[in-house]
Structure 1
Amino acid sequence: EVTTHADGRVVRRWELVALDRDIEIAPGVFFPAWTYNGQVPGPTLRCTEGDLLQVEFVNAGSHPHTIHFHGTHPPEMDGFEPIVEPGQHFTYEFEAKPFGLHLYHCHTMPLKRHIHKGLYGTFIVDPPEGREPAREMVMVMNAFDSNLDGDNEVYAVNTSAFYYHHHPVRVGAGDLCRIYLVNTTEFDLINSFHLHAGMFKVFRTGTRADQYELTDTIMLCQGERHVLEFRLEHPGMHMFHAHQSEFAELGWMGFFEAVDRLAADDGAPVRDRGGHGGHV
């Protein structure tokens, strides 16, 4: 829900509900997850710097939970307390700042269990002037301990192993592409992203539009996140994957399919009325 105060300030309201749910992490393989709104990752929350945010959190799960937002806000809105018990609710309210790519996740102990079980999502704060129109994608790197032995057996972006290998992401050759890349992987110290047959600009945490580095591989610890921008010069299949070979072989692998012309309804860059590029 979006409203505007008389002084012009935008107020955005969301409801996030903690739910226990079995999710499919590979064909026929299910994981007993703890979720926000029944999905892993949770819904992407997107706003503009300076917006007033109100997030109503309802705990309909079987364990105590919270929501901790990365970024700047009052300590009482930080999400390590109060602990929200099953059947209870709490409203987080704060101003969105700074602009950049952030995340949210449960901060209840044992922390590694609550994050690994699926309680995390992406939190995008756009700069007031917006960003250049682009083919936009949110990619959350995650993994799953499917046999509960303390090690991950399945790796993915956005939960489903090999999904983008079997369903390549279509992009326009020469079009600007933007990835909001977040690492939430538990039990492994690092994860990574590698692009074949191209290079990308890395805007670290997305908080500076005037500083970047050019590379084809980026390494992230848990909670680290960056905005990646690139243009694929040549039509064809461009692989992307973790550059830990084990992760790639266990599901963290996909393709961009660069085509000569991409229709607007297939994700071609457009500028909407809010000044943001189109995204999926």
Structure 2
Amino acid sequence: MTANTRQRGHAFARLVDVMDRLLAPGGCPWDREQTLDSLRPYLLEETYEVLDVMTGDDPAAHREELGDLLMQIVFQAALREARGEFDIDDVATAIADKLVRRHPHVFGDARADDPEAVARQWDRIKAEERRAHGGGGPDRALRGVPRSTPALARAQKLSERAAAVGFDWPDAAGCRAKVDEELRELDEAIAAGDRARVEAELGDLLFAVTSLARKLGVDAEGALRAAADEFTRRFEHIEDRLHERGRSPRDATLDEMDALWEAAKKLAEK
């Protein structure tokens, strides 16, 4: 262990001590009344705040948001410790052991000379772990993908899991053809006026698009997030230009807003 590692460990130990003090008798009344259920929205909030800053150019904001997220992990572990179930050391030990176990090319004698080989090895070891805990039943490739995961990300992860065991198109062209097929079926459902079928076919179309994204090496969730950011930027351009004229989108024509939208697109292309 290096001196730098010990220093990082000291800072983390201080965080654990601070949390222990907050939850102890005479500590913070708000913290002391929290439960695992009540912390769920805060965990999601802090996760999304990290996502907002992690690719930006503000490292101080990234550091702060990572700290807020780390606090949520320490908080949850402290609540489990109070029940006598596990503590933060158990959490750290478990993930360190998992990393060693799943990197035998680093910590053992296995060979994995490129990222693709590492990914295949990781999936194989993970499947072995699932079988070991499966009680002799079939190996469920799609187990372990939380239903609470954002739907687009969950769909792509499920598609990845299925592809890892051979349930996949041979190339991106097959995925693209599936998108066309699902779009045709959606058009048929719309024409029939069947709302339940429209919803089902729209879901199939979205799932097919995530499979195409996977095949093209694109993170579907990240791509949609970027598109939403760009939509926000362009719409705010519309609002700003209309505000300069003493107006708002509510009293502007669609043609006016379309023209401003195209202007915003051209600004982004410069």
TM-score tier, shorter chain, comes to under 0.3
Q: Which has the higher contact order (CA 8 A, sep 6+)?
A: 1
Larger Rg: 2
Give the TM-score taking structure 1 as reference length: 0.24
Query: What TM-score does the superposition give when structure 2 sets the normalisation length?
Result: 0.25
More strand by share: 1
